[in-house]
């Protein structure tokens, strides 16, 4: 992950999660509500506002839909998945 855009962005923020979202995404809205309800902070990058970012994140994670969730609460950023995986992890 030498040229990892995810690691680069993760190193620039001090939130609990790094999330990649899109406009008109019900799962993205549900994810943000879940994180807010749990009192967890996040930094959001919307692929509709940063279209060049989508391909790089898909290449790094293999995750083709939004949201894409990265857990930053430990020393090493961890790819979680989407809303369902994050919801299950935070139960």
Residue 29: which CATH number? 3.40.30.10
12-49 pLDDT per residue, tens: 999 999 999 999 999 999 999 999 999 999 999 999 99
pTM for this predicted structure: 0.94
Domain count for the chain = 1
Go through 44-75 and write b for each residue having 16 or more CB atoms within 10 A of its CB, e for each that does not: bbbbeeeeebbeebeebbebeebbbbbbbeee
Domain extent at residue 36: 5-89
């Amino acid at each position: 992950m030498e040229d990892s855009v995810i690691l680069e962005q993760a190193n620039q923020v001090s939130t609990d999660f790094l999330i990649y979202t899109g406009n008109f995404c019900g799962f993205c809205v549900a994810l943000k509500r879940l994180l807010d309800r749990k009192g967890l902070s996040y930094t959001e990058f919307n692929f509709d506002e940063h279209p060049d970012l989508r391909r790089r994140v898909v290449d790094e994670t293999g995750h083709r839909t939004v949201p894409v969730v990265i857990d930053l609460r430990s020393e090493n950023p961890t790819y979680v998945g989407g809303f369902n995986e994050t919801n299950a992890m935070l139960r």
